[in-house]
Amino acid sequence: VGIGGWNFAEWRGGVFYPAGLPAAKELEFASRALSSIEINATFYATQTPATCARWRDETPDGFQFAVKANRFATQRKTLSDGADSVVHFLESGVTQLGPKLGPIVWQLPPYRRFDADDVEYFFALLPDALDGLPLRHVLEPRHASFACADYVRLARAYSVGTVFIDSPDYPNIADVTGEVVYARLMRSQGDEPTGYSAAELARWAARIRTWARGESPADLPLIDTPAPAAQPREVFVYFIAAAKARNPAAAQALVARLNAS
Protein backbone atom coordinates (compact mmCIF):
# COMPACT_ATOMS: atom_id res chain seq x y z
CA VAL A 1 0.00 0.00 0.00
CA GLY A 2 1.42 3.38 -0.89
CA ILE A 3 1.36 6.60 -2.88
CA GLY A 4 2.39 7.90 -6.28
CA GLY A 5 5.86 9.42 -6.14
CA TRP A 6 7.52 10.85 -3.05
CA ASN A 7 8.54 14.44 -3.93
CA PHE A 8 5.55 16.71 -3.33
CA ALA A 9 5.80 20.08 -1.61
CA GLU A 10 2.47 19.78 0.21
CA TRP A 11 3.69 16.65 2.04
CA ARG A 12 6.47 18.63 3.71
CA GLY A 13 6.53 20.69 6.88
CA GLY A 14 4.97 18.06 9.11
CA VAL A 15 2.05 17.06 6.86
CA PHE A 16 3.78 13.75 6.04
CA TYR A 17 7.48 14.49 6.11
CA PRO A 18 8.90 15.91 9.35
CA ALA A 19 9.66 19.61 9.25
CA GLY A 20 13.19 20.20 8.05
CA LEU A 21 13.66 16.78 6.47
CA PRO A 22 15.98 17.18 3.46
CA ALA A 23 14.40 16.30 0.11
CA ALA A 24 17.17 13.75 -0.41
CA LYS A 25 15.85 11.83 2.62
CA GLU A 26 12.20 11.73 1.56
CA LEU A 27 12.33 8.34 -0.16
CA GLU A 28 14.10 6.85 2.85
CA PHE A 29 11.36 8.19 5.13
CA ALA A 30 8.40 7.31 2.90
CA SER A 31 9.61 3.75 2.29
CA ARG A 32 9.59 3.10 6.03
CA ALA A 33 6.15 4.64 6.58
CA LEU A 34 4.53 2.72 3.70
CA SER A 35 5.11 -0.64 2.02
CA SER A 36 5.21 0.49 -1.62
CA ILE A 37 5.51 3.51 -3.89
CA GLU A 38 4.52 3.91 -7.53
CA ILE A 39 7.39 5.61 -9.36
CA ASN A 40 6.02 8.34 -11.62
CA ALA A 41 9.32 9.86 -12.79
CA THR A 42 9.86 6.92 -15.15
CA PHE A 43 6.69 7.88 -17.04
CA TYR A 44 8.09 11.28 -17.98
CA ALA A 45 11.80 10.57 -18.51
CA THR A 46 14.13 7.62 -18.86
CA GLN A 47 16.04 7.03 -15.64
CA THR A 48 19.57 5.67 -15.42
CA PRO A 49 20.60 2.31 -13.98
CA ALA A 50 22.51 4.21 -11.27
CA THR A 51 19.35 6.08 -10.23
CA CYS A 52 17.35 2.86 -9.99
CA ALA A 53 20.13 1.24 -7.94
CA ARG A 54 20.13 4.23 -5.58
CA TRP A 55 16.37 3.95 -5.08
CA ARG A 56 16.84 0.26 -4.34
CA ASP A 57 19.53 0.95 -1.75
CA GLU A 58 17.61 3.73 0.01
CA THR A 59 14.62 1.48 0.79
CA PRO A 60 14.28 -1.37 3.30
CA ASP A 61 14.12 -5.09 2.60
CA GLY A 62 10.63 -6.18 1.58
CA PHE A 63 9.73 -2.81 0.09
CA GLN A 64 8.25 -2.85 -3.43
CA PHE A 65 8.24 -0.25 -6.19
CA ALA A 66 5.64 -0.20 -8.91
CA VAL A 67 7.10 1.43 -12.01
CA LYS A 68 5.13 3.46 -14.54
CA ALA A 69 6.47 2.67 -18.00
CA ASN A 70 7.67 5.58 -20.10
CA ARG A 71 4.86 7.40 -21.89
CA PHE A 72 6.58 7.06 -25.28
CA ALA A 73 5.75 3.35 -25.17
CA THR A 74 1.98 3.92 -24.98
CA GLN A 75 1.19 7.51 -26.04
CA ARG A 76 1.35 6.79 -29.79
CA LYS A 77 -1.15 6.62 -32.63
CA THR A 78 -1.17 2.85 -32.14
CA LEU A 79 0.44 0.69 -29.49
CA SER A 80 2.42 -1.11 -32.17
CA ASP A 81 4.13 2.22 -32.96
CA GLY A 82 5.70 2.14 -29.50
CA ALA A 83 7.40 -1.25 -29.83
CA ASP A 84 10.93 0.19 -29.84
CA SER A 85 10.10 2.36 -26.83
CA VAL A 86 8.89 -0.69 -24.90
CA VAL A 87 12.26 -2.35 -25.39
CA HIS A 88 14.16 0.86 -24.63
CA PHE A 89 12.26 1.40 -21.38
CA LEU A 90 12.68 -2.18 -20.15
CA GLU A 91 16.40 -2.09 -20.88
CA SER A 92 16.93 1.36 -19.34
CA GLY A 93 17.85 0.02 -15.90
CA VAL A 94 14.61 -0.74 -14.07
CA THR A 95 15.89 -4.24 -13.27
CA GLN A 96 18.46 -2.54 -11.01
CA LEU A 97 15.61 -2.37 -8.50
CA GLY A 98 16.20 -6.11 -8.07
CA PRO A 99 13.83 -7.85 -5.65
CA LYS A 100 12.13 -4.49 -4.99
CA LEU A 101 10.79 -4.34 -8.55
CA GLY A 102 7.04 -4.77 -8.35
CA PRO A 103 4.55 -4.48 -11.23
CA ILE A 104 5.26 -2.43 -14.33
CA VAL A 105 2.30 -0.18 -15.18
CA TRP A 106 1.55 0.62 -18.81
CA GLN A 107 -0.83 3.59 -18.75
CA LEU A 108 -2.91 4.34 -21.83
CA PRO A 109 -4.20 7.82 -22.72
CA PRO A 110 -7.93 8.51 -22.30
CA TYR A 111 -8.45 8.68 -26.07
CA ARG A 112 -7.03 5.19 -26.73
CA ARG A 113 -9.98 2.97 -27.69
CA PHE A 114 -9.87 -0.81 -27.39
CA ASP A 115 -8.53 -2.44 -30.53
CA ALA A 116 -8.08 -6.17 -29.95
CA ASP A 117 -5.39 -6.67 -32.59
CA ASP A 118 -3.34 -3.70 -31.44
CA VAL A 119 -3.61 -4.63 -27.75
CA GLU A 120 -2.68 -8.24 -28.46
CA TYR A 121 0.38 -7.10 -30.43
CA PHE A 122 1.38 -4.98 -27.44
CA PHE A 123 0.82 -7.78 -24.91
CA ALA A 124 2.98 -10.11 -27.02
CA LEU A 125 5.86 -7.61 -26.71
CA LEU A 126 5.97 -7.81 -22.92
CA PRO A 127 8.58 -10.28 -21.63
CA ASP A 128 7.96 -12.55 -18.67
CA ALA A 129 11.48 -11.97 -17.34
CA LEU A 130 14.53 -9.80 -17.88
CA ASP A 131 18.04 -9.97 -16.41
CA GLY A 132 16.98 -12.94 -14.33
CA LEU A 133 14.02 -11.11 -12.75
CA PRO A 134 10.38 -12.11 -13.31
CA LEU A 135 8.33 -9.23 -14.70
CA ARG A 136 4.70 -8.56 -13.85
CA HIS A 137 2.79 -6.27 -16.19
CA VAL A 138 -0.44 -4.36 -15.61
CA LEU A 139 -2.34 -2.20 -18.10
CA GLU A 140 -4.24 0.94 -17.16
CA PRO A 141 -6.88 1.55 -19.83
CA ARG A 142 -8.63 4.90 -19.57
CA HIS A 143 -11.25 4.61 -22.32
CA ALA A 144 -14.68 3.09 -21.64
CA SER A 145 -14.37 0.77 -24.66
CA PHE A 146 -12.00 -1.44 -22.63
CA ALA A 147 -14.84 -2.35 -20.27
CA CYS A 148 -15.83 -5.38 -22.35
CA ALA A 149 -15.48 -9.15 -22.13
CA ASP A 150 -13.21 -9.28 -25.19
CA TYR A 151 -10.62 -7.14 -23.44
CA VAL A 152 -10.87 -9.07 -20.15
CA ARG A 153 -10.37 -12.40 -21.91
CA LEU A 154 -7.45 -11.09 -23.95
CA ALA A 155 -5.69 -9.74 -20.85
CA ARG A 156 -6.23 -13.06 -19.08
CA ALA A 157 -4.79 -14.97 -22.03
CA TYR A 158 -1.53 -13.01 -21.62
CA SER A 159 -1.72 -12.80 -17.81
CA VAL A 160 -1.56 -9.02 -17.90
CA GLY A 161 -3.21 -7.39 -14.92
CA THR A 162 -5.71 -4.56 -15.28
CA VAL A 163 -5.59 -1.52 -13.04
CA PHE A 164 -8.79 -1.00 -11.07
CA ILE A 165 -9.23 2.79 -11.14
CA ASP A 166 -11.37 4.13 -8.31
CA SER A 167 -12.38 7.25 -10.20
CA PRO A 168 -15.53 8.69 -11.78
CA ASP A 169 -13.53 9.65 -14.87
CA TYR A 170 -12.25 6.28 -16.08
CA PRO A 171 -13.61 2.74 -16.48
CA ASN A 172 -13.71 0.75 -13.24
CA ILE A 173 -12.65 -2.74 -14.37
CA ALA A 174 -12.62 -5.02 -11.32
CA ASP A 175 -12.07 -8.27 -13.25
CA VAL A 176 -8.84 -9.99 -12.20
CA THR A 177 -6.82 -10.60 -15.36
CA GLY A 178 -3.24 -11.22 -14.14
CA GLU A 179 -1.28 -12.74 -11.31
CA VAL A 180 -1.37 -9.54 -9.24
CA VAL A 181 -4.18 -7.13 -8.39
CA TYR A 182 -3.47 -3.44 -8.82
CA ALA A 183 -5.71 -0.58 -7.69
CA ARG A 184 -5.28 3.18 -7.97
CA LEU A 185 -7.60 5.00 -5.57
CA MET A 186 -8.38 8.49 -6.86
CA ARG A 187 -11.19 9.82 -4.67
CA SER A 188 -9.35 11.38 -1.71
CA GLN A 189 -11.24 14.32 -0.22
CA GLY A 190 -9.50 17.40 1.11
CA ASP A 191 -11.94 17.79 4.02
CA GLU A 192 -11.29 14.22 5.22
CA PRO A 193 -8.08 13.97 7.31
CA THR A 194 -7.36 10.49 5.96
CA GLY A 195 -8.56 11.24 2.43
CA TYR A 196 -11.09 8.43 2.53
CA SER A 197 -13.57 8.05 5.41
CA ALA A 198 -13.21 5.28 7.96
CA ALA A 199 -16.15 3.44 6.36
CA GLU A 200 -14.57 3.69 2.90
CA LEU A 201 -11.22 2.47 4.20
CA ALA A 202 -12.97 -0.46 5.87
CA ARG A 203 -14.58 -1.40 2.56
CA TRP A 204 -11.23 -1.21 0.78
CA ALA A 205 -9.52 -3.28 3.44
CA ALA A 206 -12.18 -5.98 3.01
CA ARG A 207 -11.75 -5.94 -0.78
CA ILE A 208 -7.98 -6.20 -0.47
CA ARG A 209 -8.26 -9.20 1.85
CA THR A 210 -10.61 -10.87 -0.63
CA TRP A 211 -8.27 -10.24 -3.56
CA ALA A 212 -5.32 -11.44 -1.49
CA ARG A 213 -7.13 -14.75 -0.84
CA GLY A 214 -7.38 -15.26 -4.60
CA GLU A 215 -11.08 -14.35 -4.81
CA SER A 216 -13.07 -11.41 -6.23
CA PRO A 217 -14.92 -8.90 -4.01
CA ALA A 218 -18.67 -9.39 -4.21
CA ASP A 219 -19.40 -5.65 -4.11
CA LEU A 220 -17.41 -4.76 -7.26
CA PRO A 221 -19.34 -5.61 -10.45
CA LEU A 222 -17.52 -7.74 -13.02
CA ILE A 223 -17.66 -7.55 -16.80
CA ASP A 224 -16.93 -11.21 -17.51
CA THR A 225 -17.29 -14.38 -15.48
CA PRO A 226 -15.11 -14.27 -12.36
CA ALA A 227 -11.60 -15.61 -12.59
CA PRO A 228 -11.38 -19.04 -10.95
CA ALA A 229 -10.40 -18.93 -7.28
CA ALA A 230 -6.63 -18.95 -7.16
CA GLN A 231 -3.76 -19.19 -4.75
CA PRO A 232 -3.19 -16.07 -2.63
CA ARG A 233 -2.33 -13.05 -4.77
CA GLU A 234 -0.19 -10.00 -4.20
CA VAL A 235 -2.26 -6.83 -4.10
CA PHE A 236 -0.85 -3.37 -4.83
CA VAL A 237 -2.91 -0.33 -3.83
CA TYR A 238 -1.94 3.32 -4.34
CA PHE A 239 -3.63 6.57 -3.37
CA ILE A 240 -3.17 8.82 -6.39
CA ALA A 241 -4.19 12.36 -7.43
CA ALA A 242 -7.50 13.87 -6.18
CA ALA A 243 -6.77 15.62 -2.84
CA LYS A 244 -3.10 14.66 -3.16
CA ALA A 245 -2.02 16.21 0.13
CA ARG A 246 -4.19 13.64 1.94
CA ASN A 247 -2.85 10.58 0.15
CA PRO A 248 -0.01 9.64 2.56
CA ALA A 249 -2.45 9.77 5.48
CA ALA A 250 -4.92 7.64 3.51
CA ALA A 251 -2.26 5.05 2.77
CA GLN A 252 -1.06 4.96 6.38
CA ALA A 253 -4.63 4.59 7.65
CA LEU A 254 -5.25 1.69 5.27
CA VAL A 255 -1.98 0.01 6.29
CA ALA A 256 -2.95 0.34 9.96
CA ARG A 257 -6.38 -1.15 9.29
CA LEU A 258 -4.91 -4.09 7.37
CA ASN A 259 -2.27 -4.73 10.03
CA ALA A 260 -4.91 -4.72 12.76
CA SER A 261 -6.98 -7.47 11.16
The pLDDT score that the predictor gives to residue 261 is: 67
Per-residue burial over 63-79, b if 16 or more Cβ lie within 10 Å, else e, is: bbbbbbbbbbbbbeeeb
The pLDDT profile of the chain, 261 residues, written as one tens digit per residue, is: 999 999 999 999 999 999 999 999 999 999 999 999 999 999 999 999 999 999 999 999 999 999 999 999 999 989 999 999 999 999 999 999 999 999 999 999 999 999 999 999 999 999 999 999 999 999 999 999 999 999 999 999 999 999 999 999 999 999 999 999 999 999 999 999 999 999 999 999 999 999 999 999 999 999 998 777 778 999 999 999 889 999 999 999 999 999 986
pTM over 0.75? The answer is yes
